[in-house]
Structures are given as structure tokens and as C-alpha cells.
Amino acid sequence: MDFALATEFSFDEYRYQPDHHHNTVGAPNGAPNLVTVMQQLHESLDPRTVFACYGKLMGQHLPVLGITLCYKEYQLSWGGEQGLLIKQNLSHDGVSISIAYRLSAPLIKPQTELLYQLQSLLLSPLVNAIAYQQMAKQAMHDSLTHLGNRRYYEQSLKQVLARAQRHGDAITLVVLDLDNFKSLNDKYGHLVGDEVLSQFGHTLEQAIRDSDQAFRIGGDEFTLLIEGDTQAASVLCERILAMMEGDSLLTKFQVQTSMGLAQWQLGNDAETLYLRADKALYRAKAAGRRCYRVD
């Protein structure tokens, strides 16, 4: 899921500190220094932090109770959803941006002018932060399947194992690949092979729970990080096999998968856990493919 979709912020999540010594010339009493505001908004490359900073600022200097912004596929929210509603329709590089404010009281003219001033400072840092996050996301995801890539897998596994070490959580790694994928590629060509990989990645994404993660770590090799024991992972493997049987593209090309499961044990590092799951994968292949085995 996307990092910026329907995210809520409390008033105290980001504490903007106004500059009390250098108010802008001609600004209403208590208005923030616009240079300071600009610096604050440019401090982070996280869109949520930028927007929370903006919301906190507006809540301190204007009767703003809540703000919602829509830009492309992103929706950011701060504060509440009650109060008087005013809407602004803006544009940035030809892309429309809508902002809705919830107010505790109507704005007087100086307040309206201040709102426009502050609003004009938001777009550049927010759009830059969103662009940065999109690039960072692309660097961690496989362009063909849109699953996490090897780098993201290694980072995620490290984090998951650290949490398991601290709290004793049950974590299971599933290593899987497509049976006889090289033969399929040789027979039908790489375009069909890519289509099969993409559809298989989609199947994995649909099969896993929100708490699980799926990755393509190279070629036709995939991994799943499952929050649960091997019994929970086995249920998932059965689901994957059933979904593949019901997929017209995968059945057309007789695509099958073998899977190996290994549950994290005290003392296992990332490499040890992977080798255990990989060993179970080869046992599944030796058993006739289109199945899974547990280490």
C-alpha cells in the first residue's frame, strides 16, 4: 500500500516553532516569518512530515481544524473533519491539486491573505518530497512484477529477524520458483516469460495477507516473509497453488511452482534461514514439483 494514502495526523504530531523575533514586514501580528516557514517545509523528504508541518503551522496561526490534500493518487490528511469547509483548486506543472480546509470560524481578509501566502510555500517542498519517495520506492521494487526486489528483501528480512529476536515472534520464510521456467522461456520467448512472471507476482500479491511481504529476488526466484509459523505459511502455500490453478494465463502455459518453508529459530541469521528454506525447496522439486516442503 502507498505511504501517503489516507494518513491521519494529530495536532501534536509535528511541532512547528514559529520565529517570534523576525516576523515578516507588513504581516499581521503573530504571523510567522515566511523564510522560516519555507525552511521548515523543506527540512524533510517525507511527504507526511511536510504536510504535518504545514497542518501544525496553519492550526497555530489560523482557525484551521483540519486539511485534506489530493494530488495525483495521493491523499494526505491532517487534523479533524468538522467545521466550516473551504476548498482550493490549484495546479503544479499542469497537474491539479485540491486542498480542503476545515475552519472553526470564517476567515477575515488578513487571515485569507495569510492562508494564500502559506499555501504558496507548501507545493514545492511537498511535490519534491513525493517525487523523492516515488524514486526511492522504485529503487526498492522490481519493475516487472512490482514486488519488492532483492535489496528490499534483504532490508526487510533484517528488520523482521531483529524484531523476532527481541519479541520472539514466529517468522517463516518461503522460497519459491517456477518449475521448468527456462524451458517455457526457450519455447515461447522472453515476452511470454515476462508476462508469466508478472502474472505470478500478481498472484503472490493477491494471496498474501496484509502482514506478509512478497519479493522477486532474481529471475524466476521469489521469497515470501510470513508473520506466523509454518502452519500459517502452509495454508498460504495451498492458497497459492489453488489460485494458480484458477488463473487462465498460468494454466495456458502450464506454469507451476515449488516452495520451501523454514521457520526462524533462535540463532538463525538471514543467510541460515534462507539456506534452510532453499534446501526445503529442492526437496519439493525432488518430490515431483508443484508442491511445498517444510524444513
Pair 171, 127 in one domain: no
Pair 286, 157 in one domain: yes
Active-site residue, from 142, 212, 220, 278: 220
Bigger pLDDT: 273 or 4?
A: 273
Instruction: Pick the last residue of a domain from 139, 163, 192.
Output: 139
Pair 182, 99 in one domain: no
Total domain count, the chain: 2
Instruction: Pick the last residue of a domain from 82, 112, 139.
Output: 139
- Annotation marks residue 220 as catalytic: yes
CATH of the domain at 271: 3.30.70.270
CB 64 within 8 A of CB 86: no
Mean pLDDT, rounded, for 184-188: 92
Pair 64, 24 in one domain: yes
Pair 115, 180 in one domain: no
Instruction: Pick the last residue of a domain from 139, 160, 191.
Output: 139
- Mean pLDDT is lowest, of 90-94, 183-187, 241-245, 290-294, for 90-94
Q: Is residue 144 part of a domain?
A: no
Q: pLDDT tens across 206-254, in order? A: 999 989 999 999 999 999 999 999 999 999 999 999 999 999 999 999 9
CB 115 within 8 A of CB 106: no
CATH of the domain at 74: 3.30.450
Pair 55, 183 in one domain: no
* Euclidean distance between CA atoms 108 and 99, whole angstroms: 19
Pair 111, 189 in one domain: no
Q: pLDDT tens across 129-152, in order? A: 888 887 877 778 888 998 999 999
Pair 283, 174 in one domain: yes
pLDDT value of position 9: 30
Residue type at 208 in one-letter notation: I
The side-by-side arrangement of strands in the sheet containing 84-92 is: 5-7, 74-79, 64-71, 95-103, 84-92
30 band by pLDDT with thresholds 50, 70 and 90: low
Q: What is the residue whose three cell numbers read 512547528?
A: 16
Pair 176, 268 in one domain: yes
Pair 105, 171 in one domain: no
* Euclidean distance between CA atoms 273 and 160, whole angstroms: 12
Q: Is residue 243 part of a domain?
A: yes
* Euclidean distance between CA atoms 175 and 269, whole angstroms: 16
- Grid coordinates representing 27 are 504581516
72 band by pLDDT with thresholds 50, 70 and 90: confident
Pair 117, 231 in one domain: no
Give me the helix-helix angle, 34-41 and 47-61, nearest 10°: 150
Q: Is residue 100 part of a domain?
A: yes
Report the predicted TM-score, pTM, of the whole model to 2 decimal places. Answer: 0.60
CB 59 within 8 A of CB 68: no
Q: Is residue 145 part of a domain?
A: no
Pair 122, 231 in one domain: no
Mean pLDDT, rounded, for 16-40: 58
Mean pLDDT, rounded, for 198-203: 96
User: Which residue segment(s) compose the domain that 95 sits in?
Assistant: 5-139
* Euclidean distance between CA atoms 183 and 102, whole angstroms: 60
